[in-house]
Each structure stands twice: as C-alpha cells, then as structure tokens.
Structure 1
Amino acid sequence: MRIETQAIVLALRPHGEHGAVVRVMTPDHGLQAAYVRGARGRRLRPVLLPGNQVEICLSARTESQLAQATVELVHSRGPLFQEPLPAAALDWASSLTASALPESQPYPRLYQALDGLIGAIEAAPSASGWGAALVRYELLLLAELGFGLDLAKCAVSGANDELVAVSPRSGRAVSAVEAEPYAGKLLKLPRFILEGGTASWPEILEGLQLTGHFLMRDLITDRSASVGEARSRVVERLRRAAGQA
C-alpha cells in the first residue's frame, strides 16, 4: 500500500521515544493513521499541529499493517493556536473527526467541509464569521455517519414551511403550529440551517445546542472524555464571545 496525498492533520499520539502515530484526513482515502519517525522532534512538531495542511506519503506492506509516513508542511495553522477561541475550535473539529470516523473510508464531502471550516476560522475576524460553518460541519458529520436529521418537512403535519424546532428523540423537524404545545421540550431549529447564509450569535448558539444533543447521544457516548471536553470548551468560549459582542 502506498498513498501520496494532501491531508489535514487531526491528532498525534506519542509512540516510542521520539515518534508518534498521526491521524490525518485525506480527500480520497478518508481517515488514515500512520507512524511518523521523529514526530515529536524540533523539525516535525510544528508541522504536525492539528489543522495543518500537509503533503503525506504513507506506505505499508499490507493493508492491515500500520503505515509508515513522511510529512511535509503545505500550510501552517500554527498562529491560530495563539488565540483561545480559534484554538478551541480547531481542537474540537480535529478531535471529533479523528474519533468519530472509521479509518480508510472515503468521505470527500467531509474533507472539503473540514478544510472550509478551518479556512473560515483562519480568515474571519470574529467567531461570528465561522460559527455557522461549525454547526454545518457537525450536521454533515452526523449525516455522513448515518445519524442525519430529517429537516425536510414537519414530522406531524408533513408541511415543509415554518419549520422552527426539532424533536430531540427522532431528529425530525416540527412546524411552528405543531411545536407550540411542546414549548421547552423541543430543540430550536435556526433559520440559517435551512436557508443558508450568515447567522446571528443567538442562532449560532441554538445551532450548537441542536447538533450537540445528537453528537453526544449518538457519536460521543463511548468516546474518551477529552472529546466531549473539547466541545464544552469551544461552546463556552463562543458563549463568552457572544456576550461581549
């Protein structure tokens, strides 16, 4: 097996004295894990930061063997780690992707969405400029793994207009009329999720509450505590940013 491709660095686990097992997201080969010699050394440590774009060459004698890899930096997102909120967002998006996806399964839409999300975090002057992209990425990941929400029409009436809420049990949309008797029991459905475009701070936080419910229920229940903690950090910092806006 030999793969040469661009990739996004997701996670690094120390292995041996100086090396590490690195997880990366690739456009055509999905999540890949490989041993990188000297990964914790002075030269490669800044190359293997989560979110970095790299050129990676993976090779293994058999498909079941852990690949060996060489890595070259294409674009560094290191400066983002100097700011608490972008750093928390990168940590969350990377750890979620690394822990949720099965290895070697192609998810080209997720790769493009993750690359777009990280690019938005890098380019936007404020988190309000990328908060909606984070919500959309979480929704796409849920969908790609078979836990997508059904937001096309109301679960009760079948109508496809005035959809304002989502059932926390079924993940199906509910219209304003049908949602009224269940106020406080349903999850809010922000308009930007259905219509696209930008989102206000309240809508971003509502979107994160919506996706967070299904992520924690369906994907992160048996994962390490650090994954859930990473999301808690980014949500809390977004709430603070919203309060200061």
Structure 2
Amino acid sequence: MRTTTNGIILALRPHGEHGAIVRMMTPEMGLQAGYVRGARGRNLRPVLLAGNQVVAELSSRTEAQLAQASVELSHSRAPLLQEPLAAAAIDWACALTATGLPEGQAYPRIFQALEGLLAAIEAAPSASGWGAAMVRYELLLLAELGFGLDIARCAVTGDADDLVAVSPRSGRAVSRAEAAPYAGKLLPMPRFILEGGMASWHDILEGMALTGHFLLRDVITDRAVTVAEARARLVDRMKRAAGN
C-alpha cells in the first residue's frame, strides 16, 4: 500500500535511535501515524513541528502494519512558536486532535476546521483574533465524536430565544428565564456561539470554560494528563493576555 497525501503534523514520538513515529491529520484518511527515518536529524526536525503542513508519502505492506513515511514541508508555522500564546494554541489544538480522534477514520470537516484555525492563529497571533475560532473548533470536535451539545433550543421550554446557558450534565441549552433560579450551577454560553461573528475576551474565556468542561469529561480522560495540561497552559495565557 502506498499513498501520497497532504497532512498537518500533530505529534511526534521518538522511536529508535534517530527516527520517530509521527501522527498527522489528513483530509481523506483522517488521523494517520507513520515512522519517519531520521526524524530527529537536523534536516527533518524543523519540518516535523506541530502545526506544520506537509506532503507525506505513506507506504506499508499491510493495513495493520505501521506505515513508513517520508515528508516534505509545504508550509511552516515555526515562527509562531516564538509567540507564547500562539505556540500554546497550536500545541493544544494539535494535541487535542491527536488524542481525541481514532486513527484511520476520515473527518474532512475537522481537517478543514483545523487548517482554518491554524491559519487564523498565523494571521492574528493575539487570541482576540482567533479565540472564537478555537471555541468553534472544540465544539465541532465534540460533535464529530458524538458528544455534541444540544444548544439550538431550551431544554425546558423548547424555545430557541434568549439562550444564555448550558447544563453541565446534559449539554443542553437553557433560556435566560429558566436559568435564573440556577445561577452559578449552569455554564454560561456566550452569544457568538449561536450568532457567529467576533467575540470579546470575556466571551472567549466563557466559551473556553464551556467547551473545556465537556472535553475534559468526555474526550480527554485521566490517561491523557499531559494533554489536559496543554489546555490549562493555553487558558492561563489567554487570561493573562485578557488582563485577568
């Protein structure tokens, strides 16, 4: 089996003396892993950075065998790694994708959304420019994995008007009137999640708190402590940038 595909580098794990197992997101085949010879050498080390886009050739004798991979850089995001907030965002988005998705299943919407998110981070390293996109990416990943939030209508009345919160247990939206008696027990839902558009720092942090609750409960389990830490670093840097 041999195939050539575009890919976004997500993670790298050293294997052997000089090689590494590289995990990448592809548009047609979803999450793919491959062994790259010389991955930790001078030439390939800057290529195999999380967030970089590559053209990869994957080959294996059987579907069950780990593929051998050769990669060629198509777009580098290495300069962003010098920006603490942008670097934390790339680290988290790639770690979430690599950890949350099963291998070998196509998720074209997630590939497109991740590509768009990384481009937004590159265009505006301040989270005020891409924070809303990060929240939407996390919501999409939850939905694609079967943990999507039911936020189109109020869980109590069935109405679609004035939705302001989400139940932390059911993931269903709650209207302002119905949420009032439960202040402090529900997760605030910023308006941009339903209406689109830009978001304030306050809205972005509320959105991150909302998606974070369900990601940490349903997707990022206890065995993925380092991944949860990556998200904590991002949120902490967002709060600092917001002046909180």
The bucket for the TM-score relative to the shorter chain is over 0.9
State the match for 1:132 in structure 2.
132
Q: For the structure 1 residues 227 and 125, does the alpha-carbon distance in structure 2 shift closer, same or farther, using more than 3 Å as the test?
A: closer
**AA matched with 2:114:** L
Give the equivalent residue in structure 1 for 2:155: 155
Match of 2:230 in 1: 230
Residue aligned with 1:95, SS: helix
| Match status 1:66 vs 2:66 | yes
- Partner residue, 1:41: 41
Partner of 1:205: 205
Please name the residue that 1:55 is paired with.
Answer: 55
2:18–2:40: 8 Å Cα contact kept in structure 1?
yes
**Structure 2: 5+ residue stretches without partners:** none
Quote how far apart the aligned CAs of 1:223 are. Answer: 3.2
For the Cα contact (< 8 Å) 1:99–1:223, is it kept in 2?
no
Q: Verify the 8 A CA contact 2:27 2:111 in the aligned structure 1.
A: yes
Residue 144 of structure 2 corresponds to residue 144 of structure 1: yes
5+ residue gaps, structure 1, are none
Letter in 2 for 1:3: T
RMSD, aligned CA: 0.8
Asked whether the equivalents of residues 27 and 108 of structure 1 are also in contact (C-alpha less than 8 Å), the reply is yes
Task: Give the structure 2 partner of residue 217 of structure 1.
Answer: 217
Q: Is 1:27 paired with 2:24? A: no
Q: Deviations for 1:166-217, whole angstroms, at most 9, x for unmatched residues?
A: 0000000000000000000000010000000000000000000000000000
Give the secondary structure class of the aligned counterpart of 2:240: helix
User: Under a length normalisation based on structure 2, what TM-score does the superposition of the two structures give?
Assistant: 0.99
More deviation in 47-56 or 120-129? 120-129
Question: How many equivalent residue pairs?
Answer: 244
Could you tell me how far apart the structure 1 residues matched to 2:231 and 2:137 are?
13
Residues in 1 aligned to 2:113 and 2:125: alpha-carbon distance in whole angstroms: 20
Corresponding position of 1:169? 169
- Compared CA separation, residues 217 and 125, structure 1 to 2 (3 A): closer
2:104 partner amino acid: S
Q: Which amino acid aligns with 1:98?
A: A
Question: What is the alpha-carbon distance in structure 1 between the residues aligned to residue 62 and residue 200 of structure 2?
Answer: 50
- Letter of the 1:70 partner, please give it: S
**Are 2:99 and 1:99 equivalent residues in the alignment?**
yes
Q: Distance in 2 between matches of 1:200 and 1:234?
A: 17
C-alpha distance in 1 between matches for 2:242 and 2:184: 22
Report what 1:87 is aligned to.
Answer: 87
> TM-score, with normalisation over the residues of structure 1?
0.98
Aligned twin of 2:78: 78
Q: Is the 8 A contact 2:85 2:126 kept in 1?
A: no
Question: 1:151 touches 1:172 (CA, 8 Å); kept in 2?
Answer: yes
Q: Report the alpha carbon displacement of residue 224 of structure 1 after superposing the two structures with TM.
A: 2.1
Deviation, 1:125, is 4.8
- Give the counterpart letter for 1:188 in structure 2: P
Query: Alignment partner of 1:58: what SS?
Result: strand
| Runs of 4 or more consecutive aligned structure 1 residues displaced over 4 Å after TM superposition | none
Q: Secondary structure at the match of 1:213?
A: helix
Aligned to 2:117: 117
Q: Deviations over 1:116-164 (max 9, x none)?
A: 0000000015210000000000000000000000011000000000000
Any conservation in 1 of the 2:86–2:126 contact (CA below 8 Å)? no
